[in-house]
Amino acid sequence: MATTGLHDKVDRYERVESSANGDFEHREQVVENVGANHQRNLGRVIQFINLLFSILEAMIGLRILLKLIAANANAVFTRFVYDFTNLFLWPFAGLTRTPSVAGLVLDIPAIVALLVYALLAWAIARLVWVIFSNPETRQVTVTEKRRG
């Protein structure tokens, strides 16, 4: 017994038009994959993954900028950015030295984290696509016949 999944279901219809005297016939047959909604939803999931990682990368980029301009570490905004990004930067802590001059700091581990998280976002999005993707198909066949 064969089983069909959501993605195997198709919607079919056929439209036939004929002239009054029967000397011309226009036939249109459409076969469409009903699982197209699945593809759209999958695209939304991937967009959501990209959004989350973009927010994370923006926060890390802000941290790099704040350290580079020697922002006041006691300011509420600066403290918020540092506290938020600390959780995501701990795997990179101590990776390299962090050069500084007169209070200006180049946070190299944060720069490395920025690159790693960008690659991770790309890999997760691709993996989700590969696992859950089902290419939508649509086939349209049009035939016209003239008699006489």
Whether 8 maps to a domain, the answer reads no
Phi, psi of 32 (to 5 degrees): -125, 140
Give alpha helix (H) positions in the chain.
Answer: 36-68, 76-89, 108-132
Domain that holds residue 44: 37-136
Written as tens digits, the pLDDT of the chain (148 aa) is 333 444 445 567 677 677 767 677 777 777 766 567 778 888 999 999 999 999 999 999 999 999 999 999 999 999 999 999 999 999 999 999 889 898 889 999 999 999 999 999 999 999 999 988 876 566 666 666 676 5
> Which residue's entry shows tokens 């918020």?
80
Whether residue 13 lies inside any domain: the answer is no
Neighbours of 77 (CB within 10 A): 11
Is residue 89 domain-resident? Answer: yes
Where b means 16+ CB within 10 Å and e means fewer, 115-141 reads eebeeebeeebeeeeeeeeeeeeeeee
